[in-house]
Amino acid sequence: MAEAHPHRHEPLQKTMPMLLSFVAGYVDSYTYLALFGLFAAQVTGSFVIAGAELVRHDSGVVGKLLAIVVFIVAAAITAALIGLSREAGRAPMPWMLALEAGLLAAFVAIILFGPDVKGAADWHGIVAGLFAASAMGTQSVLVRLLMKGIPQTNVMTGNMTQLGIALTDIIIARRRFARSSHDAAAARHYHAVRDQLLVVLSVAVGFLVGAAAGAIAFVTIGISGALLAVAIVVALALSALVREDEA
C-alpha cells in the first residue's frame, strides 16, 4: 500500500523514525534498570551480558537468552503478519504499531501491577522482559519492511557506521556540487545525501534522548513512567490509521 502511494505517508514519516528510536532507547533504559541488565531493543547488549553471566554461572542468563529467542520469534511473526495484511489488501502499518503498543502495555502492566522484581532470575521480570523484547522485535521488522530507506530505530551500532558513511558522502557531494557550478543533477544528489544524513542523525539522537529520558523517568517517576513509551506508539498507530482512512 505504501509503495503504491509513496507520498501518502510523507508527513508521518518525517517524525516516525525519531519517535520510534526514542521509544526504543526509552524502553532499553527501563528494561536495563528494572530488569537487572536486560537490553530489550539493543539485542547485541543482551548477547554480551548473557555471555558474561554464562561464564559466571549466573542464573540471570536464562532471561537474557529467552529474550533473544523471543525477539527473533516476534520478528518472524511480525513479518508474517505484514505479508498476510498485504495479501488481504490492508495497510499493515497501523496494525503493526498497535501490536507493538499492546506488547509494550503488557510489559508495563506486569512490572507495574505485579510483584516487585527481586533479581534477574525472578520469573515475573523474565516474563515482562519477554514482552518488551517482543515489542522491540516487532518495531525492528516494521521499520525494515514498511519504512524503506529508514535506518533501524533500535540498532545504534549499525547506525553509527551509517552516520560515518553519510558524513563522508555529504562532504563529497558538497564538493561535487561546488565544482559543478550548481548543476541541477549535482544539486539533487547533494540534497538527497543531506536528507539521508539528517534521517540517520535524527534516529541516533532520538535513541540517545530516549535512553536518557528513560533513565531519568525511572529514577524520578518509577515504573509508571514506562507508560510514556506506550502512549507514543499508540499515538503513532492512531495517526497512521487516520491517514490510511483519509487516503
Report pLDDT for 41: 86
- pLDDT range class, residue 172, cuts 50, 70, 90: very high
Q: In 10 A of CB 177, how many CB atoms?
A: 19
Average pLDDT rounded to a whole number, residues 199-215: 96
* Alpha carbons 216 and 159: distance in angstroms, whole number: 24
pLDDT score at 247: 66
Mean model confidence pLDDT for the chain: 89
- How many Cα atoms occupy the beta-carbon half-sphere of 73 within 13 Å? 11
pLDDT in tens, 1-27: 344 444 344 445 679 999 999 999 999
Per residue in 155-169, pLDDT tens? 898 899 999 999 999
The CA distances from residue 103 to 4, 90, 138, 184, in Å, are: 29, 21, 9, 47
pLDDT at residue number 13? 63
Which three cell numbers, joined as nine digits, stand for 181?
A: 557550478
